[in-house]
Structure 1
Amino acid sequence: MPIVKTLKKSLYFGTQHHCPICQSNVRLFKPMHTTQIRLNAICPVCSSLERHRMMWLFFKQKTDLFAAHAKKMLHIAPEECLVDKFAQCESIDYLTADLNNSAMVKMDLTDIQYPDNSFDIIYCSHVLEHIPDDAQAMRELSRVLKPEGWAVIQVPILREQTYEDLSITDPQQREQLFGQSDHVRVYGLDYKERLEKAGFCVSVMPYLQEFTSEERKRFGFDIEKDDIYFCTLH
């Protein structure tokens, strides 16, 4: 373990909270400052957010991601706190991709330079809200997923119906309307239908409901709702 993480584990040690990603017992999760302050959001050791910890537990408890059979995984816009965990699993042929240089390959989700049926698993979280042609990106993700594979494609769901206006380019106006200056829309509960139009079969899983209030507090799951969009091709 890097010495910095070891020092942080000691500095923030406590029994109130637990990060399942870095296996740290800490006295607090740090607040996240966005348009609204989210308390108990950031692990002080690995910097994971609530959604990262939720997805890590979901992958371990509800999927075959870490099973012994070989599988090829595409991880879009890789979260630093999860990269090493996936990369260290010998059964995963792991590829990270992003539009910038922070990943193994540079990838435009609207024009993925890989053949059909390339990946057993795709994980893409909080990316589509940045992409003007999200429908094309969804179709591309569907195209490169193997017929027996699965994908988790997450976005922030903040309203009943998706709202977008691609003519809005001013960062301040985008932040006001879409919640962040580099977002081009705010998704609603019709997100499932948008994925289905791209060729996915979608199960909306209310995974957080499986945790008790005590467990939610311990893992820092103060978010009210963050369903998991589990996608297959049939």
Structure 2
Amino acid sequence: MYNNFKRVVHLMVPKRIIFKVEPYLRKVFSITKKGHNHCCTICNFKAKQWILLPNQDLLCPNCGSISRDRRLYLIVKKEFFTPSCNVLDFSPSRSLFRQFKREKNIQYTASDLSGNFIADAKYDITSISKESNSFDLILCYHILEHIVDDEKGMSELYRVLKPNGTLLIQTPFKEGKIYEDYTLTSETDRLKHFGQEDHVRIYSVAGLKERLQNVGFKIEILQFQKEVYFGFSDNETILKATK
């Protein structure tokens, strides 16, 4: 029911209106989902069940967060919430954007070049219009698989990160080596080879680690397991890159 309702709303309602009214619609919808079996780390909503999405991810009925949003928020909250922490977040989910904006313990800037996400700025990740050493923490989730010149993007992330700063980065991963083929330019080919129409590669963990190291980052690979109560997915990998 949820997925059908969402499809109809997106067909009939302009995106800018959806962004404004979505929190209120979710509040109404979530009334029927209240319970004690699960808890969202972002909005603290107690749910009797998550909403199961077609890709098998678990959606919070109250704020719309998915599994990786909830884990990322918990990591940032535990490790980086200080009043002096200057955060740059690329194309965040709406649930994360709204919650981070409420937080008084960080200085938060969201950037999105596509216009598909709520954001404060439109930085091109391959040419970020900020001074060097500007941010203590950068969040780059499911971005680099869209970027043709990803190594230039990584160099820019390194440049604008402060010394001893942290970049948390995640993409879809595969076993083996990075798979990319720049002759594949049609949406049909990219969907077939990379899993999504606007992706230009699939990283391996080792391949992404190597490219990040090549521009100067020190890398720690974080592995996480399933947690039913918070709706965390199994075998989730995050790369923690420090300058």
The answer, yes or no, to whether TM exceeds 0.5 is: yes
2:68 corresponds in structure 1 to 51
1:87 corresponds in structure 2 to 101
Equivalences for 1:100-115 in 2 at 5 Å? 100-101=114-115, 102-115=118-131
SS at match of 2:138: strand
- The one of 37, 41, 52 equivalent to 1:16 is 37
**Higher deviation after alignment, 14-23 or 144-153:** 14-23
Equivalences for 1:54-69 in 2 at 5 Å? 54-61=71-78, 63=79, 65-67=80-82, 69=83
Equivalences for 1:167-186 in 2 at 5 Å? 167-186=183-202
Q: CA deviation digits over 1:154-209, x for unaligned, max 9?
A: 11112221100111011122111111111000111221111111211111111x24
The question of whether the paired residues in 2 share the 8 Å contact of 1:16 and 1:27 is answered with yes
SS at match of 2:189: helix
1:153 corresponds in structure 2 to 169
AA of the residue aligned to 1:66? F
Identical columns (%): 36
2:215 corresponds in structure 1 to 198
Is 2:231 the partner of 1:220? yes
How many residues align? The count is: 218
Alignment root-mean-square deviation, CA: 1.7
Q: CA deviation digits over 1:205-230, x for unaligned, max 9?
A: 11x24xxx6xx112222x33112211
Equivalences for 1:21-32 in 2 at 5 Å? 21-32=42-53
**Higher deviation after alignment, 110-119 or 97-106:** 97-106
Q: Identify which of structures 1 and 2 has the higher relative contact order when contacts are C-alpha pairs closer than 8 Å and 6+ apart.
A: 1
Q: Please, what TM-score do these two structures have when normalized by structure 1?
A: 0.87
**Structure 1 stretches of at least 4 aligned residues deviating more than 3 Å after TM superposition:** 2-6
Provide the rounded CA distance (Å) in 2 between the counterparts of 1:219 and 1:90. 24
SS at match of 2:104: coil
Provide the rounded CA distance (Å) in 1 between the counterparts of 2:100 and 2:234. 27
Q: Please, what TM-score do these two structures have when normalized by structure 2?
A: 0.84
Provide the rounded CA distance (Å) in 1 between the counterparts of 2:35 and 2:103. 29
Provide the rounded CA distance (Å) in 1 between the counterparts of 2:71 and 2:85. 22
1:143 corresponds in structure 2 to 159
Name the structure where strand makes up a greater proportion of residues: 1
Deviation at 1:122, TM superposition (A): 0.7
Structure 2: 5+ residue stretches without partners: 1-22
- The one of 110, 113, 116 equivalent to 1:96 is 110
AA of the residue aligned to 2:161? L
Structure 1: 5+ residue stretches without partners: none
Q: Relative to 1, partners in 2 of residues 1:98 and 1:179: Cα closer, same or farther, differing over 3 Å?
A: same
Provide the rounded CA distance (Å) in 2 between the counterparts of 1:180 and 1:129. 10
Provide the rounded CA distance (Å) in 2 between the counterparts of 1:50 and 1:91. 23
Deviation at 1:95, TM superposition (A): 1.1
